[in-house]
Structure 1
């Protein structure tokens, strides 16, 4: 019997593709700013994306393990080369040097595809570490964390210097669940959790109780671009220039009320409305009802991913699913959160809805892996009794 991809996931993606194209067209043409160029490109990206998703879904995971390190090496090389590339092929956009400009094709953002590369190599690293059969100790667990840090931190620092803080946050959102389910001791996990929690709590306390110290010492250690966004988030009325996009986004969302103004009836101008702030267009034109439908659609998509993660037979595939779910969940929460003023603006796109070729194609590659996981466990006729139990409580075949 031929094993099929998950039809529900494909239906959700087709619905998201339709919503994306409809509201990118509305966002980019309503003020006569961009014309219809973006909608044509987005349709093209989606067509290519579905082909890539299908191709990835057909790859065997042993093949993926073999190509993981070469693919990682190519992407890291492109990230390093981007630093030295002349502006003729790597022109900065909004003060960020994150893209290669390819004639007749468009822009290519290697940091987007680093998600795929990092996901594979970290999952392979964890699986290889656990397969050695060594006695688990704090030392072996720390050694695993050290290896993950060695392959993760240098490229992440390159992305941070572009600057692209939002992408850095996505990498962390992907790595954290993978580390949690890697099988390391709970006590060590507790320490890893407590340290950033205490650090964040301390910063919050300093902000409210010692605001002058926070402003003079902590905030000034960041780049001007980051300071501007944080000030615009914390003090939107005092720093009106920094909060300009957020306030307009909130105005657009609020003006949609319950049922919206109607398709193509958005009349609140928001910069980059077709990319990072696509949710504001959806809420303005379809109101609370339409925005809620989009959120439910994302929830259903994530639910199907969790379903396949829980059925994964190998630790490698389970870790991949956990990383993808963590990344997309955080990306959705961050993007919607920043459009409603709950979180600072970070330049993170809304998956499958915002305009952007690199973002869309990289996410379609990740969905291809989810399909591959589904087809891998669907192909088992007999249960393998030779299993290894990890900290999460799940059992995986050796």
Structure 2
């Protein structure tokens, strides 16, 4: 019993408080929608997520660090499921990216993200001295190129962008030579140009064109983005109320208000102050991840924390940017806020591994306690 109490008191309170706050905002968004089904399911997902977080935090990450095969197994499982999606997956909003097993739906891309995170951490930890060579850097891209290919075929451009940002952001933060960065940027420009001309579907091009010229098709390709912006503006400073009956999001004028446009739905209900509270909670999470990266005592821990920081920052930026009309609609959930079990559970697992790293860093927990005492 004493060991359990000691473990619970050692957990990162700032991180947990931010997660709880975001979870509550997400649940309030679901509670305001007609019917209790989504609210009840998400409540179960969140409870399971905290159990998963605690389990990974209890687990000694040093076993994971010394066993690269674990990360490869997670990555391989996710990629295998992505391939299976092509055979038996069910298309949702034009993208075939879900496997349905009775009442359970599995999003393989979430498993791939965690696997890619682990594989890149192992590779960068092992090859940190060799990253001055462009060939070594390019080899690391295989961890995301394979799943990106499958995601593109589904097609799931949100996942493509996220995996690319995970790799590119991690590489930049790890301070590779400038000539390698320039080569990567030129390659990305070439790939984007090629994809636009030969690989993108018509509806995907329409989304990009609608972003650039929303006035040309306000009730078609630009409708979702336009409604999201209207919902944000309608929130004002203090919002229109959680359970107001005439909300844009409640009356189905804002599509996917529980998932892809959760940010807009919550801002309409809670206003500017609600948005500020939500973004502050995300800032706290990113701050706590960054502290682990800065104070890491080995290359694996540092690379993993950096990768997770880039991944979550990318997810948040893409979702919020999409909801504010700053980038084309791509369909990405907002961590801990959007409805969905696969994304929520893998995010909890990823943060649980980070918490294990924190708990096993010499002096880390004590310094956090001292800092809290000073506050």
TM-score range for the pair, normalised by the shorter chain length: 0.7 to 0.9
**CA apart distance, 1:148:** 1.2
Other-structure match for 2:27: 21
Other-structure match for 2:278: 294
Residue 176 (structure 1) aligned to one of 147, 165, 168: 168
Other-structure match for 1:112: 110
**CA apart distance, 1:308:** 1.6
Work out the CA distance in 1 between the residues paired with 2:87 and 2:131: 43
Summarize the Cα distance change of 1:48–1:182 in structure 2 as closer, same or farther, 3 Å threshold.
Answer: same
| Contact kept in structure 2, 1:68 and 1:121, CA below 8 Å | yes
Other-structure match for 1:68: 71
Other-structure match for 1:239: 217
SS at match of 2:122: helix
Residue 321 (structure 2) aligned to one of 325, 332, 337: 337
Other-structure match for 1:81: 84
Work out the CA distance in 1 between the residues paired with 2:282 and 2:200: 33
TM-score scaled by length of structure 1: 0.81
Alignment of 1:125-274 (within 5 A): 125-130=123-128, 136=130, 141-182=133-174, 184=176, 186-192=177-183, 194-195=185-186, 218=196, 222-240=200-218, 241-265=220-244, 267-268=247-248, 269-274=253-258
Work out the CA distance in 2 between the residues paired with 1:180 and 1:137: 11
| Contact kept in structure 2, 1:120 and 1:320, CA below 8 Å | yes
Summarize the Cα distance change of 1:314–1:219 in structure 2 as closer, same or farther, 3 Å threshold.
Answer: same
TM-score scaled by length of structure 2: 0.86
| Contact kept in structure 2, 1:123 and 1:178, CA below 8 Å | no
Q: Gapped runs of 5+ residues in structure 2?
A: 366-375
Kindly indicate which of the two structures has a greater share of residues assigned to helix: 2
Aligned residues: 350
Other-structure match for 1:103: 102
CA offsets 1:169-208 (integer angstroms, 9 cap, x no match): 1112221232234464x233442455268769x97xxxxx
| Contact kept in structure 2, 1:177 and 1:326, CA below 8 Å | yes
**CA apart distance, 1:146:** 3.4
CA offsets 1:269-290 (integer angstroms, 9 cap, x no match): 2111111111112111111111
Q: Is 2:12 the partner of 1:6? A: yes
SS at match of 1:237: helix
| Contact kept in structure 2, 1:220 and 1:227, CA below 8 Å | no
**CA apart distance, 1:307:** 1.4
SS at match of 2:100: strand
| Contact kept in structure 2, 1:274 and 1:354, CA below 8 Å | yes
**CA apart distance, 1:130:** 3.9
Summarize the Cα distance change of 1:307–1:168 in structure 2 as closer, same or farther, 3 Å threshold.
Answer: same
